[in-house]
């Protein structure tokens, strides 16, 4: 495959179908471990595997536990920013027949993410949140989180459908980007919210994930002749 | 009690346990030679594989500050993630330098198995169009052997490794010993048919080192997707669970982990290598291992660094460097050209529960082929890797319930990305940076490489031809890229101890043996004479087996 340079969470990293049945997974792993250890012979011992250099993931830690900590406090956002983000994320991705961004704790993940980014990223994020309020104040004289729900939708809808130029344009062509600064801020926030939502377990289930690890083997195209659909 | 592994004299020391080192250890120990296999990192077991862990269980969902802090260079590799970053070197402990205007990204692992744990697994043979490229176009020199010489070793490697793929009878990309091919999607079938009909070009399913049926005790791929995080069924080829395992099973191979080799030790009176010196990774003690032969498989730049750091009064500019070419002719495939688009009339929606095929499609080189003849201004050529699958569309317009719906409707994407030949040039090179040492006190490399005009022209051409092919296949929303990425991004670095028949114009002979020091071999990518445009690992492994068989014969004839 070509070498993608991830700029933000790439689509390929939005978690793949994976097992909710962790117990089963652990059982499989334990069995394989014993097989691996014996296959590798006396030069290996399981002790070597844990001596050092394992990532938290490789140690099997569930890094998502902080999200549901009853004593959770923002690491980066102030209360106003946090509340604005909760309201904004839930207007962009509301509960429908599945839970929305608020239930997926999009704000908590993004707070953590932004807290460990370079200051330039942090400043952009804060500026983007502020820009939502600036737009809201200009239209309605109130901050975004205090608007009526239909006014929140009205405001965001104006930004949410950018004009598209010709598709015969080079990637990263400036003409394909929304020209308006507020719109750019909104799209940056929307992309982060979408990545945080669809990267969550709730978001995966919204996409239809059944909680299983594998669904193989890949069957490919089964059409006869050139009639692909 | 077992003997102290450092008090013996081995027949061979193999430095590095990756794709090539694993093969060297296996081949030599199975022939009865006593082998010490040295690995700079620690052992790895299936316990630490994370391929089945959802990314929502990662605290930072792959944006860990620890990765940003300790792997600022390694994280440029798509495979270096919050899951597995400890397999990659810590950039703070493993520095190298470059000229300010010639950036190079050097992505490497120091654990048992090396980069074979996370490699892209694409496995293609070179052909005589590559081995004899200079005879065809006059640029640089031919390899010191032909396809026929390497063919039996390609067969050996493929039969053992397990390469799934399809035969195509295309002279640019010789067919091999294939396990059943993985299937193509509708979009890929359409693209394949179109490029054949409209351009006479060959698109085939990726030839990948993943077994699709039980093979040498390994279970077939279960299509979970992210091989670079390990595989509990060992379905993709990585050395710890195959070649290294076989080597240890012989009883003739001693594995020494955490051994960071600093240099080769010479017996100056006999002009023979007598072993290596290493620094223990955790204790920092300096130790020696003795052997009748030394086989470097540390990866092109690392093996070259070891030789440069092994200078003696007789070899003042680096061991085995009487030609003055050691470190020069560094190559890495040029990447960056390509195109992507969508098939709007293909309506298969994306699925959150698909089998994840860890493989794409490959479009065989069509520039400067015997069939198409000489291109007016381009030298050599490029192949494309790509794919076409329905994808969720997080970039959908709108907000609210409409947006959630549009995400699930998705798009049927199609893309092609080129890997182009990197021409061998003397002025792309590495040397020792006399002001820089790694955390173990070993002098570090200064790497000086830039892609040239031909590489840039290849990528510009690749962007345009990719867009033309996507358009002819009916794709819409086509966008193209025509630039070149920084050298190192292809992670196919080769060429710094080139092979050849003339000791004045090459570092190694046709069997990867130093012209200067007869019991010193380098069998990783260092010996490549040209980069071709195919992924190099399969060829590195075949060259290693060929070199080892030659070495075994020399042992049998008492020539070592």
What CATH number should be reported for the domain holding residue B185? Answer: 3.50.50.60
Decide if B3 is inside a domain: no
For residue A37, pLDDT over 60 is answered with: no
> A25-39, B212-226, B312-326: which has the minimum mean pLDDT?
A25-39
pLDDT of residue A19: 27
Query: In B, residues 74-93, which contact A (CB 8 Å cutoff)?
Result: 76-78, 81-86
Residues of chain A found within 8 Å of residue B394, distances taken between Cβ atoms: 11, 14, 191, 194-195, 198
Question: Residue A128 in 3-state DSSP?
Answer: helix
Cα–Cα distance for residue pair A163/B267, rounded to 1 Å: 73
| Residue labelled with tokens 């999607």 | B185
Q: Hey, what's the torsion of the CAs at B136, B137, B139, B140, to 10 degrees? A: 0
According to the model, what pLDDT value does residue B206 have?
A: 98
Q: Is pLDDT above 90 for A163? A: no
Residue of B37, B57, B387 to mutate, testing the A interface (most A Cβ within 10 Å of its Cβ): B57
Helix (H) / strand (E) containing B342:
strand B334-342
Q: Helix (H, G, I), strand (E, B), or coil: what is residue A185?
A: helix
Residues B40 and B111: their CA atoms lie apart, in Å, by 7
Q: Which positions ≥6 away from B294 have C-beta within 8 Å?
A: B12, B13, B15, B264, B273, B275, B276, B519, B520, B521
Mean pLDDT for the stretch of residues B173-196: 97
Query: Has residue B4 been placed in a domain?
Result: no
B257 touches B14 (CB < 8 A): no
| pLDDT band at residue A228 using 50, 70 and 90 as cut-offs | confident
pLDDT surpasses 70 at A164: no
Count of residues for chain B? 560
Burial class (CB in 10 A: 0-12, 13-18, 19+), B110: buried
pLDDT band at A28 (very low <50, low <70, confident <90, very high): very low
Which pLDDT belongs to residue A10? 28
B213: number of Cβ within 10 Å: 12
User: Are B54 and A15 in contact (CB < 8 Å)?
Assistant: yes
- A77 CA: distance to closest CA in chain B (Å): 16
Using alpha carbons, select from A87, A97, A60, A200 the residue that is nearest to residue B48.
A60
Average pLDDT over residues B320-328: 98
Across the interface, whether the CB atoms of A63 and B58 are under 8 A apart is answered yes
- Asked whether B211 and B411 are in contact (CB, 8 A), the reply is no
pLDDT of B391 > 60? The answer is yes
Chain A residue closest in CA terms to B407: A207
- How many secondary structure helices (H) and strands (E) does chain A include? 8, 0
- Collect all residues with Cβ–Cβ distance below 8 Å to B499 and sequence separation of at least 6: B143, B144, B506, B507, B508, B509, B510, B512, B527, B528, B529
From CA B554, how far away is CA B101, in angstroms rounded?
Answer: 46
Report the residue from B43, B224, B480 with minimal CB separation from A213: B224
Residue A119 vs residues A107, A127, A185, B34: alpha-carbon distances, Å: 19, 12, 17, 56
Contact between B26 and B247 (Cβ < 8 Å): yes
Rg of chain B taking only CA atoms, in angstroms: 23
Closest Cα in chain A to B208:
A1
- Residue B411 pLDDT exceeds 50: yes
Alpha carbon B344 to chain centroid, angstroms: 36
Which residues of B257-333 form beta strands (DSSP E)?
Answer: 259-267, 272-280, 286-296
Q: Taking CA atoms, what residue in B is nearest to A167?
A: B477
Residues of chain A contacting B82 with CB distance shorter than 8 Å: 55-57
Return the pLDDT at A170: 58
Q: Residue A217, preceding bond cis, omega within 30 degrees?
A: yes
CB B95 within 8 Å of CB B445: no
Q: Where are the alpha helices (DSSP H) in A12-63?
A: 22-40, 46-49
Q: Is residue B1 part of a domain?
A: no
Whether residue A55 lies within 8 A of chain B, CB to CB, comes out as: yes
CA distances A32 to A29, A49, A56, Å, are 5, 14, 20
**Residue A169 and residue B479: Cβ atoms within 8 Å?**
yes
Q: Is the pLDDT of residue A73 over 80?
A: yes
pLDDT-above-70 percentage for chain B? 99
Q: Contacts of residue B351 in chain A, CB cutoff 8 Å? A: 208
Residue A51 corresponds to which tokens in the numbers above? Answer: 């001596």
Residue B81: the pLDDT is 96
> Residue A44's pLDDT is what?
34
Distance from CA of A55 to the nearest CA of B (A): 6
**A 77-136 residues with CB < 8 A to B:** 91-94, 96, 98, 109, 112-113, 116-117
Q: What is the tally of structural domains in chain B?
A: 1
Q: B84 to chain A: which residues are within 8 Å by CB? A: 55, 57-58
Average pLDDT value for residue range B108-126: 98
Pairing of strands B334-342, B411-420: antiparallel
Is the pLDDT score of A151 beyond 80? yes
Contacts of residue B37, defined as CB under 8 A and 6 or more positions apart, other chains included, come to: B14, B17, B21, B25, B244, B247, B253, B254, B255, B256
When the pLDDT of each residue in chain B is averaged and rounded to a whole number, the result is 97
Q: Nearest-CA residue of chain B relative to A28?
A: B232
Cβ separation of B46 and A3 shorter than 8 Å?
A: no
Residue B2 maps to a domain:
no
Min Cα separation A78/chain B (Å): 20
Specify if B121 maps to a domain.
yes
Stronger pLDDT, A39 or B361, i.e. the higher one = B361
- Shortest CA distance from A212: residue in chain B: B353
- Burial of A138: CB neighbours in 10 Å, binned 0-12, 13-18, 19+: exposed
Residue numbers of B between 127 and 186 with CB closer than 8 Å to A: 182-186
Q: Chain A contact for B272, CB < 8 A? A: no
Nearest to B184 by CA among B391, B360, B395, B373: B360
Which H or E run includes B263? strand B259-267
Residue A222: pLDDT band (50, 70, 90) is confident
Under DSSP, is residue B97 helix (H, G, I), strand (E, B) or coil? strand
For residue A188 the two structure tokens come to 């940056």
Q: How far is CA B497 from the centre of its chain?
A: 16
Residue B552 to chain A, least CA–CA distance (Å): 25
Per-residue pLDDT tens for B247-274? 999 999 999 999 999 999 999 999 999 9
Q: Is the peptide bond before A46 cis (omega within 30 degrees of 0)?
A: no
Which residue from B41, B53, B394 is facing A194, i.e. has the nearest CB?
Answer: B394
Partner A contacted by B61 (CB < 8 A): yes
Nearest CA in chain A to B59: A63
Cβ atoms B539, B126 nearer than 8 A: yes
Closest Cα in chain A to B349: A229
**CB distance B184–A54 less than 8 Å?**
no
**Nearest alpha carbon to residue B293 among B314, B279, B272, B270:** B272
In 3D, which of B120, B431, B320 has the Cα closest to residue A3? B120
Structure tokens at A50: 């844990």
Q: Do A198 and B394 touch (CB under 8 A)?
A: yes
Annotate B194-243 with three-state secondary structure. Answer: HHHHHHCCCEEECCECECCCCECCECCCCCCCCHHHCCCCCCECCHHHCH
* pLDDT, tens only, A110-125: 999 999 999 999 999 9
The reported pLDDT for the residue numbered B308 is 98
Q: Annotate A41-64 with b (16+ C-beta within 10 A) or e (fewer).
A: bebbeeebbeeebbbbbbebeebb
Q: Interior CA angle at A145 toward A139 and A150, to 5°?
A: 60
Listed range (A1-5, B301-305, B544-548) with the worst mean pLDDT: A1-5
Find the domain containing B240 and state its range: 9-556
Cβ distance B299 to B108 under 8 Å? yes
Sorting pLDDT into bands at 50, 70 and 90, what band is A5?
very low
Judge whether B154 lies within some domain. Answer: yes
Identify the pLDDT of residue B313: 96
Q: Interface pTM (ipTM) of the complex?
A: 0.92
Over range B103-131, report the average pLDDT.
98
- Range of lowest pLDDT (A94-108, A153-167, B390-404): A153-167
**What does the pLDDT look like over B516-540, one tens digit per residue?**
999 999 999 999 999 999 999 999 9
DSSP B420-462: EPPPP-TTSEEEEEEEEE-TTSPEEEEEE----HHHHHHHHHH
* pLDDT class of B129 with cuts at 50, 70, 90: very high
Mean pLDDT computed over B439-454? 98
What integer best gives the mean pLDDT of chain A?
Answer: 78
Q: Say whether residue A207 is in contact with chain B using an 8 A CB cutoff.
A: yes
Distance in angstroms (rounded) separating the CA atoms of residues B24 and B119: 19
The residue assigned the tokens 């026929």 is: B148
The yes-or-no verdict on residue B439 having pLDDT over 70 is yes
| Backbone angles phi and psi of B265, in degrees to 5 | -95, 135
With CB atoms and an 8 Å threshold, state whether B55 touches A13: yes
Length of chain A measured in residues? 229
Q: How far apart are CA B278 and CA B255, in angstroms?
A: 14
Distance CA A110, CA B543 (A): 49
Q: Which of A98, A198, A229 sits opposite B346 (nearest CB)?
A: A229
Residues of A in contact with B403 (CB under 8 A): 92-93, 160
């Amino acid at each position: 495959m070509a070498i993608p340079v991830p700029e933000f969470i790439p689509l390929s990293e939005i978690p793949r179908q994976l097992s909710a049945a962790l117990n089963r997974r652990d059982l499989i792993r334990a069995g394989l471990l014993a097989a691996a250890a014996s296959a590798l012979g006396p030069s290996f011992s399981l002790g070597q595997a844990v001596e050092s250099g394992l990532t938290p993931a490789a140690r099997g830690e569930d890094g998502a536990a902080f999200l549901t900590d009853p004593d959770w406090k923002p690491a980066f956002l102030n209360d106003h920013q946090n509340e604005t983000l909760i309201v904004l994320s839930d207007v962009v991705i509301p509960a429908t027949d599945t839970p929305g961004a608020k239930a997926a704790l999009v704000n908590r993940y993004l707070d953590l993410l932004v807290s460990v980014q370079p200051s330039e990223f942090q400043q952009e994020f804060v500026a983007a949140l502020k820009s939502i309020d600036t737009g809201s104040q200009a239209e309605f004289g109130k901050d975004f989180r205090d608007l009526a729900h239909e006014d929140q939708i009205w405001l965001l809808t104006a930004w949410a459908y950018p004009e598209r130029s010709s598709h015969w344009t080079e990637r990263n062509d400036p003409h394909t980007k929304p020209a308006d600064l507020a719109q750019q801020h909104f799209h940056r926030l929307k992309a982060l919210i979408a990545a945080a939502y669809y990267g969550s377990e709730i978001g995966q289930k919204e996409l239809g994930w059944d909680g299983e690890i594998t669904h193989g083997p890949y069957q490919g195209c089964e059409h006869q002749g050139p009639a692909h659909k | 009690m077992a003997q102290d592994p450092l008090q013996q004299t081995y027949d061979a020391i193999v430095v590095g346990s990756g794709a090539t080192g694993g093969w060297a250890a296996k081949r030599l120990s199975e022939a009865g030679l006593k082998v010490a296999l040295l690995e700079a990192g620690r052992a790895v077991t299936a316990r630490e594989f994370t391929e089945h862990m959802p990314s929502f269980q990662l605290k930072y969902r792959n944006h860990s500050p620890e990765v940003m802090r300790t792997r600022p260079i390694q994280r440029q590799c798509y495979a270096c993630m919050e899951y597995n970053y400890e397999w990659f070197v810590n950039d703070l402990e493993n520095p190298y330098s470059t000229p300010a205007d010639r950036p190079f990204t050097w992505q490497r692992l120091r654990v048992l198995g090396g980069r074979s744990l996370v490699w892209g697994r694409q496995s293609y043979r070179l052909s005589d169009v590559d081995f004899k490229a200079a005879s065809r176009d006059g640029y640089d020199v031919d390899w010191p052997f032909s396809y026929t010489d390497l063919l039996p070793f390609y067969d050996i490697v493929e039969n053992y490794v397990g390469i799934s793929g399809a035969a195509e009878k295309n002279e640019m990309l010789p067919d091999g010993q294939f396990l059943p091919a993985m299937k193509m999607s509708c979009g890929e079938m359409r693209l394949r048919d179109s490029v054949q009909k409209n351009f006479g070009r060959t698109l085939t399913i990726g030839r990948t080192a993943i077994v699709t049926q039980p093979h040498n005790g390994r279970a077939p791929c279960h299509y979970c997707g992210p091989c670079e995080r390990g595989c509990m069924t060992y379905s993709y080829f990585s050395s710890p669970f195959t070649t290294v395992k076989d080597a240890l099973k012989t009883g003739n191979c001693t594995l020494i982990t955490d051994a960071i080799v600093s240099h080769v030790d010479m017996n100056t009176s006999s002009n023979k290598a007598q072993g290596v010196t290493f620094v223990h990774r955790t204790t920092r003690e300096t130790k020696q291992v003795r052997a009748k032969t030394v086989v470097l498989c540390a990866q092109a730049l690392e093996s070259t660094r070891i030789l440069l750091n092994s200078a003696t009064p007789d070899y003042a500019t680096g061991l085995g460097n009487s030609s003055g070419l050691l470190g020069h002719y560094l190559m890495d495939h040029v990447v960056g050209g390509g195109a992507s688009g969508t098939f709007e009339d293909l309506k298969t929606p994306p699925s959150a529960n698909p089998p994840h095929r860890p493989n794409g499609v490959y479009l065989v080189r069509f520039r400067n082929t015997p069939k198409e003849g000489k291109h007016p201004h381009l030298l050599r050529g490029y192949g494309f890797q790509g794919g076409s699958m329905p994808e969720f569309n997080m970039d959908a317009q709108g907000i609210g319930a409409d947006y959630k719906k549009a995400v699930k409707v998705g798009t049927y994407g199609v893309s092609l990305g080129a890997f182009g030949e990197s021409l061998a040039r003397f002025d792309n090179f590495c040397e020792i940076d006399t002001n820089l040492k790694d955390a173990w006190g070993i002098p570090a490399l200064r790497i000086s490489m830039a892609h040239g005009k031909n590489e840039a022209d290849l990528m510009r051409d690749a962007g345009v031809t990719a867009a033309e092919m996507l358009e002819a296949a009916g794709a819409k929303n086509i966008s193209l890229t025509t630039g070149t990425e920084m050298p190192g991004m292809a992670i196919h670095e080769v060429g710094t101890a080139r092979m050849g028949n003339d000791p004045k114009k090459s570092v190694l002979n046709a069997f990867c043996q130093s012209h200067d020091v007869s019991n010193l071999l380098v069998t990783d990518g260092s010996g490549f004479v040209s980069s071709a445009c195919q992924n190099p690992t399969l060829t590195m492994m075949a060259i290693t087996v060929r070199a080892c068989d030659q070495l075994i014969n020399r042992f049998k004839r008492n020539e070592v």
